[in-house]
Structure 1
Amino acid sequence: MYPLVILVILGCLSWEARSCTCGPRHPQSAYCDAAVVLRAKFIGQTDSEKKEHWTQFEVKTTKVFKAPEALQDIQYVYSGKEESLCGYQHTSTNKSEEFVVAGMMVDGSVYITSCSFIAPWSSLTYCQKRGLMNVYEKNCGCQIVQCFSLPCEITNDLQCLWTDPLMQRKSLYSGHQASNWACVNNGSGLCLWDSLKSRLYAPISKKQVQ
C-alpha cells in the first residue's frame, strides 16, 4: 500500500518532487484533475494507525462537490507526515473555518499533498465559488493551457490559453482569469473563456457563498 501511494502522489507533482515544487493550476483544472473536491472543516489531526508514515486529518464535510457516488460521507483525508514527501501541513487552528479541499483517491481513501488545491472558502471569489458549485464540472472536457512566457499558443478548439502565470502575483489564484473566468464549451465543440459573473449561469445564494 505505502509504495503504491507514494508513486501515485509523487507522480502528480513536478519532477522536482524533493522540494515539492508545485506547478500553477487554474481552479477549474484543479477541480477537473481531482477525484474528490469538498468543502470541509479540519477538526482533528493524528498519526494514522493503519497507514504508516501518514497523517490522518479528521474533517467535517459540509458539501461534496465531486466524489465517487459511494463516497459521499468523507470523514478523513490523509497526507504524508514529512514535508520531504510533500506532506500537507494544516496551519489554521480555527476548527470552524471551512476549506475547499481537492484530493486524489487511492484504495478508497482520500489523499492530499502540499501541492493540492486547498484554500479557505472565505478567500475564494464569488465567481470561483460559482465555478465549484455548477460550472467547472460541466466543462471538464475543455483544457486550460498555461502560458509562462510569450509566445504562447493553443493547438485545438478545446483549449483556452491561461495567461495569469505571466503576471508576478503573490497568488496565481488571484489572477483575473483564475478569479473570474472559466473555460467553457459553447455547445459547438469550441471552448472559450467566459466570465462567471454572467447571468447565463445558475445563481448562488448569499448563504451558499458565506
Structure 2
Amino acid sequence: MSMSAAVTLALLFFLSVALNEQVTEGCTCLPEHPQQQFCESDFVIRAQIIQKLPSIHPLLTAYEIQTIQRFKLSKGIQVIYTPHGMNLNNGDYLLSGHFSDGVAVVNLCDRVEPWNNLSSVQERYLNLYWMGCGCKILPCFGKSCLIEILQKNCLVRINDSLVLDDEEALQSICLPGNAGFCTWHKFVRNYKSS
C-alpha cells in the first residue's frame, strides 16, 4: 500500500468515526468552513425573524421571516422551520438550510448566525462563495494538514476538540485554478453587501 493510500484510508477512518459519533449523539456536527456550508445548502439568506408561528409540521417549529438579502436562493421564503428545541429570537440572522417537501428547513448543522456576529470578511465572501462551489474543502487533523496528496482540494484544519481551528482558511475562499487545482485565495477589494 502506498503512503498516499494509507493516509487517505486513515483520514476516511477518522471521518467515519467522527460522523458515527455525530449520528449517535444527534446534536454535534463536524465543523465545516462557511463556504462549504454555503455550497451544500439549498438557500442562504439574511433574514429578520419576525415571530414564531403555529406549525403545521408536528416535529418542527415555524417562524415567520422577512428576507433582507438573498445569497443563494431560487424562490422566496416567508416561513422557515427548525427542529423543536432550536429556538430563534427576533432579529437579523444569516440562515442556510434545505428544502424538504416544499418547506424551508434549518437544522442544527446548518448555519444559523446572528448577522452582527459575522466578520466583515465573512460578510464580503457571501457574495463570492458560489465561485468556488466546484471545489471541495476537506477537513484535516494534525499532521494530515501537511499532506500534499490532496492538493486538488482545499484543506481546513480541525483541532482535537473537533473545532474548526484555521484562521487563515476562515479569512479565505477556495477557488479553482490551473489544471483543476483548488487553492485558498484572499480578496482585498472592498466588496460591500447590503
TM-score (norm 1): 0.73
SS at match of 1:150: helix
Aligned-partner Cα distance in 1 for 2:106–2:19 = 15
Q: Is this contact kept in 1: 2:169–2:184, CA < 8 A?
A: no
SS at match of 1:151: helix
User: Does structure 1 residue 193 correspond to structure 2 residue 184?
Assistant: yes
SS at match of 1:127: helix
* Number of matched pairs: 174
Alignment partner, residue 5 of structure 2: none
Deviation at 1:175, TM superposition (A): 4.2
- Which 4+ stretches in 1 moved above 6 angstroms? none
Aligned-partner Cα distance in 2 for 1:67–1:154 = 35
The aligned runs of 1:42-57 (5 Å cut-off) are 42-48=49-55, 50-57=56-63
TM-score (norm 2): 0.78
Q: Is this contact kept in 2: 1:79–1:112, CA < 8 A?
A: yes
Per-residue Cα deviation, 1:82-111 (whole angstroms, up to 9, x for no partner): x4xxxx222x3xx3x311100011122110
Per-residue Cα deviation, 1:181-201 (whole angstroms, up to 9, x for no partner): 1111125422111113x33xx
Percent of aligned positions that are identical: 28
Alignment partner, residue 76 of structure 1: 79
Per-residue Cα deviation, 1:141-170 (whole angstroms, up to 9, x for no partner): 01111112322436455301112x23869x
The aligned runs of 1:1-210 (5 Å cut-off) are 14-15=19-20, 16-17=22-23, 18-48=25-55, 50-68=56-74, 71=75, 73-81=76-84, 83=85, 88-90=86-88, 92=89, 95=90, 97-133=91-127, 135-152=128-145, 153=147, 155-163=149-157, 165-166=158-159, 172=164, 175-196=166-187, 198-199=188-189, 203-205=190-192, 208=193
**Change in 2 beyond 3 A, CA 1:47/1:14:** farther
**Change in 2 beyond 3 A, CA 1:43/1:175:** farther
Deviation at 1:34, TM superposition (A): 0.4
Alignment partner, residue 4 of structure 1: none
Aligned-partner Cα distance in 2 for 1:46–1:190 = 46
Specify every segment of 5 or more residues in structure 2 that has no aligned partner in the other structure, as ranges. 1-17
Q: CA RMSD in A?
A: 2.5
Q: Is this contact kept in 1: 2:61–2:83, CA < 8 A?
A: yes
Specify every segment of 5 or more residues in structure 1 that has no aligned partner in the other structure, as ranges. 1-12
Aligned-partner Cα distance in 2 for 1:182–1:195 = 6
Alignment partner, residue 5 of structure 1: none
